Amino acid sequence: MATPKSNQSRMYVPEPPFRPGDTPDYSHISVPTDHTPHRPDPMCDDHETVEHALKLIRVMRFNGETAGEWVPGLTPDVKRKMLKDMMLTRAMDDRMFAMQRQGKMSFYMKSRGEEAVSVGHAYALSDQDMVFPTYRQQGILIARGASMLEMMNQCLSNSGDPLQGKNIPVLYSFRKHGFFSISGNLGTQLIQAVGWGMAEAYKNEDGIASAFTGEGATAEGDFHYALNFASTYRAPCIINVVNNQWAISSFQGIAMGDGESFAARGTGYGLATLRVDGNDILAVYAATQWAAERARQGGGATVIEHFTYRAEGHSTSDDPSKYRPANESEVWPFGDPVERLKTHLVKIGEWDDEQHEAFAKEAKLFVRETYKQAEALGTVEHGPQLDDFTMFEQVYADPPELLLEQKEMFRKELG
Amino acid sequence: MPHMSMIEAIRDAMDVKMSQDASVLTFGEDVGYFGGVFRCTAGLQEKHGLHRCFDTPISEGGIVGIAIGMAANGLRPVAEIQFADYIYPGYDQIASEAARLRYRSNGDFICPLTIRTPVGGGIFGGPTHSQSPEALFTHIAGLKTVIPSNPYDAKGLLIAAIESDDPVLFLEPKRLYNGPFDGDHESPSVSWKGHALGDVPSGHYTVELGKARHVSEGPDVTIIAYGTMVWVAEAVAANLGIKADILDLRSLVPLDLDAIETSVKKTGRCVILHEATRTSGFGAELMSQVQERCFYHLEAPIRRVTGWDTPYPHAQEWAYFPGQKRVTAAVREVLEAA
Ligand SMILES: Cc1ncc(C[n+]2csc(CCOP(=O)(O)OP(=O)(O)O)c2C)c(N)n1
């Protein structure tokens, strides 16, 4: 939203349109009714996507119909699977959030409202592609068939944790699922993804790298390193900005001022740019598929802005009602990604309310059972504990003498 | 055996590895076509091609960042940072990412990269071309920090660094690039030609990371040094006519504790040298280690000789530099203590 530029000489700090107590009204965000812009050839010149950085790619109307050039040719089976993966992700998030509240975990981060971004993205990539995620793309792991038990074990830092207690909850590493180790330092993965993509190209392999960032973290230098290097070396990668409107308590304008869109940041670097309704999983799929094809064919990187809404708190550590109206997510004009796909599947006669209810129950049950298995392996608070000595492992390939000495000191300390 | 300067030895190390192993490539600012501002990579692009040796944007965070992505994807990149003074924009990528990737992923991803960068004074580089930031990196778990003092070691250590599965910061004392240093800034520079340490075997060899070099053996005092300061130590011992046990550490992480302990227990006296700023410098770590290990063998307080706690000055470069005068005074003091 463009703020009137009066008082230009005065200190200016952007503010979100609403604060707690206000009645949120998103009429300033125009929801396009036609399903533009048009779908160019994936090998087009980057400047042919300049307008795509400002318009929204959408496929599904709110009534469940699909329209436009971006409608992907997915079978009902695939779409049903997508829906189920989103529902599973949400069910897992809900369970883990509740368990954190019960003191079983130090911390958790939900992805509610953003499931279409991760699940839709995963479906459009191939298995040899490496994703450089943030902490809000657990849906990619679910979509790629990762073991939920292993994911939960990581969150609990228990004896089944593949990371042996080294990382905080949700910062997964699953090389076997093309899921890069997540850093707690925001933005750092973006430029690493470019390097990964460059290495794929160097080795004459077909894999691409796909990096994610929140819109807040685009303010980090690493984002700009990544765009510049991706453009310079035409790296086969996708740089995804998940604009969920909020970076903890800071609204998206704090990261960008009056900028037009986050996708448009790519334009100045000579990259292809797409902006997509992130709550429309078919649009996310279509945009990703376009960018992946472009990268694989040597067209270079694409910046995709996924325009979405973080429907819950940033993490278990914050209370969103302290900085935004409590019902904001309900009036978010692009709806809920799960409901949107459900409406579409019902519309085409491939799903109904009973099936939906039944699967929601099944997902909840599956998550509960899996969590029980995970908890049986311990939690960070309650045993069975991990061996403390694992903390000394994997610091180096060949540990220096001083580190081995310290391990001995620790052994003595334990007596 | 060919004579080589340190620049040539470093280039030769990269050439040997690039010839042997297609996963080794090198890049950085001006590294490709021009061959680097110190010419360390001269000719590598011509020989190995544009994809193996190339120029990058002036973006240290970007350079280290892509190197991490490449290393995690099975390559062994050798990234050059033009001067260590400019490594700070890449610091987060080194300290938070390269050094921790193995740990945080519990070995799921590793990061075998080498970052080369020139350090130290001696070229009138002032506050922005002379720093020795090693202590900022030795504090980082998961990273190795290596610093050669001569062409022979430079080549062997660099090959070992490239072959290491851990990320290595490879610091190159630029005062030694073209020739040894007699510890006196007023004497003319000489080339490595004719110097024993300038004899560099061709082909592949390594110098193990974490093993100090005994520069000289003697009962009088242990002098612990690395990089340029090794040469000052030698000159001081020669001028004083003492028999000093001089250790060239060659790598700070991993550290050759056995060599240090054995030597100090033998001599009972210890002087530690480095060019970097004094407070919280690597000398503080070395003093702690000696104190913890050798206290009952010490016959004098440990002394460290360092640069001052100022930015590296331009005009007063040699007043900042811990040269022969400062080192001689410290060694005398330690020798004369009862
Ligand atoms: C370098 C760095 N600075 C600050 C933080 C603390 N922090 C964690 S998440 C976050 C907000 C990120 O917002 P955004 O990028 O929009 O992603 P979102 O959480 O909305 O998905 C902040 C400031 C951090 N983890 N790393």
From B8, B29, B60, B234, active-site residue: B60
Say what the pLDDT of residue A7 is.
62
Residue B117: closest CA among B15, B10, B8: B10
Cβ atoms B324, B184 nearer than 8 A: yes
B146-193 residue pLDDT tens: 999 999 999 999 999 999 999 999 999 999 999 999 888 888 889 999
Q: Give B57's contacts in chain A (Cβ within 8 Å).
A: 228-229, 232
Distance from the alpha carbon of residue A183 to the mean position of ligand 1, in angstroms: 11
Ligand 1 contacts CB of residue A113 (under 6 A): no
A335-389 residue pLDDT tens: 999 999 999 999 999 999 999 999 999 999 999 999 999 999 999 877 767 888 9
Give CA–CA dist A36/A11, Å, rounded.
Answer: 38
Q: Is B60 a catalytic residue?
A: yes
Q: Report the pLDDT averaged over residues B237-242.
A: 97
- Kindly report the nearest CA distance between residue B236 and chain A, in angstroms: 31
Mutation to test the A interface, candidates B18, B52, B56, B103, most A Cβ within 10 Å: B103
Q: Round to the nearest angstrom and report the end-to-end CA distance of chain B.
A: 47
Mutation to test the A interface, candidates B108, B137, B290, most A Cβ within 10 Å: B108
B269: left (phi over 0), alpha (psi -120 to 50) or beta: beta
Give CA–CA dist B146/A348, Å, rounded.
Answer: 65
CB atoms inside a 10 Å sphere around CB A7: 8
Tokens of A116: 């279409």
A384: exposed, middle or buried (Cβ count in 10 Å: 0-12, 13-18, 19+): exposed
Mutation to test the A interface, candidates B25, B73, B256, most A Cβ within 10 Å: B73
Provide, rounded to the nearest whole percent, the portion of chain A with pLDDT above 70. Answer: 97
Give CA–CA dist B337/B269, Å, rounded.
Answer: 9
List the single residue in A193, A199, A228 with the smallest CB-CB distance to B62.
A228
Nearest-atom number in ligand 1 for the CA of A188 is 1
The pLDDT confidence band at residue B272, using thresholds 50, 70 and 90, is very high
C-alpha to C-alpha distances, A379 to A130, A182, A258, nearest whole angstrom: 30, 21, 45
Q: Is B129 a catalytic residue?
A: yes
Subunit contact A395:B109, Cβ cutoff 8 A:
no
Atom 20 of ligand 1: nearest residue by CA position = A247
Residue type, A7: N
Give CA–CA dist B123/B126, Å, rounded.
Answer: 8
Indicate if the pLDDT at residue B14 is higher than 80: yes
Nearest CA in chain B to A195: B66
| DSSP helix, strand, coil percent of chain A (3-state; round to 5) | 45, 10, 50
Lowest mean pLDDT among A88-92, A174-178, A407-411, B69-73: A407-411
A9-61 residue pLDDT tens: 788 889 998 999 999 998 888 888 776 789 999 999 999 999 999 999 999 99
Indicate if the pLDDT at residue A1 is higher than 80: no
Nearest CA in chain A to B72: A196
Q: Give A191's contacts in chain B (Cβ within 8 Å).
A: 61-62, 65-66, 69, 93
Give CA–CA dist B4/B150, Å, rounded.
Answer: 10
Say what the pLDDT of residue A413 is.
87
Provide, rounded to the nearest whole percent, the portion of chain A with pLDDT above 90. Answer: 86
Subunit contact B93:A191, Cβ cutoff 8 A:
yes
Subunit contact B253:A397, Cβ cutoff 8 A:
no
The mean of the pLDDT values for chain A is: 94
Say what the pLDDT of residue A208 is.
98
Give CA–CA dist A179/A131, Å, rounded.
Answer: 5
B277-319 residue pLDDT tens: 999 999 999 999 999 999 999 999 999 999 999 999 998 999 9
Ligand 1 contacts CB of residue A244 (under 6 A): yes
Ligand 1 contacts CB of residue A317 (under 6 A): no
Cβ atoms A227, A269 nearer than 8 A: yes
Tokens of B237: 């011992």
Cβ atoms B28, B82 nearer than 8 A: yes
List the single residue in B92, B104, B255 with the smallest CB-CB distance to A173.
B104
The number of C-beta contacts closer than 8 angstroms across A and B is: 152
Residue-by-residue DSSP string for A199-245? HHHHTT----EEEEEESGGGGSHHHHHHHHHHHHTT-SEEEEEEE-S
Distance from the alpha carbon of residue A217 to the mean position of ligand 1, in angstroms: 6
Residue B188: closest CA among B196, B178, B198, B197: B178
Say what the pLDDT of residue B309 is.
95
Subunit contact A401:B166, Cβ cutoff 8 A:
no
Q: Give B28's contacts in chain A (Cβ within 8 Å).
A: none
Ligand 1 contacts CB of residue A136 (under 6 A): yes
Q: Report the pLDDT averaged over residues B262-270.
A: 98
B19: left (phi over 0), alpha (psi -120 to 50) or beta: alpha
Tokens of A404: 């081995």
Give CA–CA dist A313/A110, Å, rounded.
Answer: 8
Indicate if the pLDDT at residue A194 is higher than 80: yes
Distance from the alpha carbon of residue B27 to the mean position of ligand 1, in angstroms: 31
A202-239 residue pLDDT tens: 999 999 999 999 999 999 999 999 999 999 999 999 99
From B29, B129, B163, B234, active-site residue: B129
Subunit contact A173:B57, Cβ cutoff 8 A:
no
Indicate if the pLDDT at residue B122 is higher than 90: no
Say what the pLDDT of residue A3 is.
56
Cβ atoms A136, A118 nearer than 8 A: yes
Q: Report the pLDDT averaged over residues A319-332.
A: 91
In a mutational test of the pocket of ligand 1, which residue from A186, A256, A315 has the highest number of ligand atoms less than 8 Å from its CB? A186
Residue type, A10: R
Q: How many helices (DSSP H) and strands (DSSP E) are in chain B?
A: 12, 12
* Residues listed for chain A: 415
Distance from the alpha carbon of residue A108 to the mean position of ligand 1, in angstroms: 14
Ligand 1 contacts CB of residue A182 (under 6 A): no
Q: Report the pLDDT averaged over residues A134-163.
A: 97
Helix (H, G, I), strand (E, B) or coil at A336: coil
Residue B216: closest CA among B241, B199, B187, B189: B241
Nearest-atom number in ligand 1 for the CA of A186 is 26
Q: Give A188's contacts in chain B (Cβ within 8 Å).
A: 65, 92-93, 96-97
Nearest CA in chain A to B167: A396
List the single residue in B68, B73, B253 with the smallest CB-CB distance to A400.
B253
Residue A207: closest CA among A139, A270, A131, A286: A131
Ligand 1 contacts CB of residue A135 (under 6 A): no
Give CA–CA dist B244/B216, Å, rounded.
Answer: 7
Subunit contact B255:A402, Cβ cutoff 8 A:
yes
Subunit contact B69:A192, Cβ cutoff 8 A:
yes
A83-137 residue pLDDT tens: 999 999 999 999 999 999 999 999 999 999 999 999 999 999 998 899 999 999 9
B117 strand-pairing partners: B171
Element (H, E) at B55: strand B53-55
Interface pTM, i.e. ipTM: 0.91
- Kindly report the nearest CA distance between residue A218 and chain B, in angstroms: 15
Subunit contact A193:B69, Cβ cutoff 8 A:
yes
Ligand 1 contacts CB of residue A246 (under 6 A): yes
Establish whether the linkage from the previous residue to B254 is cis, with ω within 30° of 0: yes
Give CA–CA dist A75/B10, Å, rounded.
Answer: 58
Give CA–CA dist A127/A123, Å, rounded.
Answer: 10
Nearest-atom number in ligand 1 for the CA of A109 is 19
Q: Round to the nearest angstrom and report the end-to-end CA distance of chain A.
A: 63
Ligand 1 contacts CB of residue A215 (under 6 A): yes
Distance from the alpha carbon of residue A31 to the mean position of ligand 1, in angstroms: 27
Distance from the alpha carbon of residue B101 to the mean position of ligand 1, in angstroms: 19
Give CA–CA dist B87/B59, Å, rounded.
Answer: 10
The mean of the pLDDT values for chain B is: 97
Q: Give B104's contacts in chain A (Cβ within 8 Å).
A: 163, 166-167, 171, 173, 181, 183
Nearest-atom number in ligand 1 for the CA of A246 is 20
A173: exposed, middle or buried (Cβ count in 10 Å: 0-12, 13-18, 19+): buried
DSSP-derived pairing of the beta strands B24-28 and B76-80: parallel
List the single residue in B69, B89, B107 with the smallest CB-CB distance to A196.
B69
